[in-house]
Amino acid sequence: MSKEGENSKLPFKDTQKAYRFAVETLVGGLLEDPVSSLLRTIAAAENSLREYPGTRDNRNLSDEHQKQSELIVIELKSKTQIPVAMPVDYKPKRGVPENQHNVTQVYLFGDQSMSEIGRLHGNLTYQRVEQQVRAGVKRVLKEVPQPGFSLETLNFRRPWTDRLKDRLSLSRGGIIINIREAISNGSGYDDLKKAGFETFQIMSARKQLAERQTPVEVPRDHNNWSPILEAISNPESDVLTTRELIDNLTRGIMQNHPEISVSLSEFVRRAGLYPRYQKGDMEVIFNYLDCLRLPVACRIEETKNGPQQGLRNYYFAVRRFEEKIIGELKNAKGERFNRMRIPPRVRNRIRSRVKILSDGNLS
């Protein structure tokens, strides 16, 4: 589906609203009809429940009473049955008439995934469940047309519920769940760090837990960085003062304030250098600028998982000294800097040419 098609879809809540309004209209119309079979069925069920005091909410029912519970449905002109009340011990069966709208209602208003719904209704595939939901909504909209709602504009992508998000988190190691449990036990930001959670994991959990149906507030690092950031951005702060100030900043703070500090590689590229990261060129550049007493910083952090597992260096520079730093890099001398000024493609051609000449001499 194209991006434009996605943007033209209505919110999922509108799909729920359209279906609910249609079913309530159909049920309400039948309840107003004194000779309605639905009205008689509901009345019989009400009388049956009155014989068991305290069981109107279907709790604490005896096995005998559960067997007496009946499925109450309304039947559309298309021979489709829409469940209105389900038996206490109802267990879905494959191929029964009420399945389509039972599947539709569970998906639209429950928190089960399509795979879980499929297993409950005779091992239906994910695709079959989606077809049933679309068909169920289409049928009720045909019975109760609603301006502005059509199958083409309705959105069938239900937002993930908290339970499904927890299940996804568990499949990926359960970091989000572990952080949430630690917070519920009274852990603060420093406690989370001591427990071994990385800064990026805490930041990711903060964003994801804030978007939950039941939001959870993840504590923040309460250090007040504002005075330091203001002093760094102050034009009256000299180079040495600025160097001392940036030593107090964490990698996250420097990355989140691009108006004050930027990745050193940005200035390196603008200076016409092509560093080979695997050869340690960025470390050479940092050490060169650091020896010139310019405001640059390096943060070393450990990545415990993924393809970049291990220690990693992050280099930063103060944006206010952009011209000074770029100028020094352009004027840097030495064989190492001369090699960095050769574009990668040219460098590869030179290497290939040297190899050819070397092979020729050997032959």
Comparing C-alpha atoms, which of 65, 83, 80 is closest to residue 27? 83
Please report, as a single letter, which amino acid is at residue 118.
G
Q: Is residue 152 assigned to a domain?
A: no
Please check whether residues 233 and 291 belong to one and the same domain: yes
Tell me, yes or no, whether 135 and 177 share the same domain. no
The answer to whether residue 151 sits within a structural domain is no
As a whole number of angstroms, the longest Cα–Cα distance in the chain is: 105
Domain endpoint, select from 94, 111, 143: 143
Evaluate whether residue 154 is within a structural domain.
no
Is 216 inside any structural domain?
A: no
- Quick one: 121 exposed, middle or buried, by C-beta within 10 A (0-12, 13-18, 19+)? buried
Within a domain: residue 96?
yes
User: Do residues 252 and 193 lie in contact, with contact meaning Cβ atoms separated by under 8 Å?
Assistant: no
pLDDT digits (tens), the chain, 363 positions: 344 445 567 888 998 888 888 888 877 766 555 555 555 555 555 555 444 444 444 445 444 444 445 666 666 666 667 776 666 666 776 666 677 888 888 888 888 888 888 888 888 888 888 998 898 888 888 888 888 888 788 888 888 888 888 888 888 889 999 999 999 999 888 889 889 988 888 888 888 898 888 899 888 876 778 889 999 999 999 999 999 999 888 888 898 899 999 999 999 999 999 998 888 899 999 999 999 999 999 988 877 666 767 788 899 999 999 999 999 999 999 999 998 998 877 666 655 655 555 555 544
Number of domains in the chain: 3
Does any domain span residue 176?
yes
138 and 8 part of one domain:
yes
- 215 falls within a domain: no
The residues near 39 (Cβ < 8 Å, ≥ 6 apart) are: 30, 31, 33
136 and 9 fall within a common domain: yes
Beta bridge pairs of residue 310: 303
**Residues 7 and 122 both lie in one domain:** yes
Do 133 and 240 sit in the same domain of this protein?
no
Q: Are residues 166 and 274 in the same domain?
A: no
pLDDT one-digit tens code per residue, 194-245? 899 888 888 888 888 988 888 998 888 767 788 899 999 999 999 999 999 9
**Short-list 156, 222, 223, CA closest to 18:** 156
Let me know: does 144 contact 22? Beta carbons within 8 Å: yes
Nearest CA-CA partner of 171 in 115, 129, 218, 226: 115
Looking at the fold, whether 291 and 325 belong to one and the same domain comes out as yes
CA dist., res. 197 & res. 188, Å (int): 12
Q: Are 275 and 340 in contact (CB under 8 A)?
A: yes
Query: What is the residue whose two structure tokens read 């049928």?
Result: 139
Q: Is 217 within a domain?
A: no
Supply the range of the domain harboring residue 306.
226-353
Do both 206 and 251 map to the same domain? Answer: no
- Answer yes or no: do 349 and 244 share one domain: yes
Do 135 and 43 reside in the same domain of the chain? yes
Are 71 and 174 contained in the same domain? no
Dist. CA 141–CA 23, nearest whole Å: 9
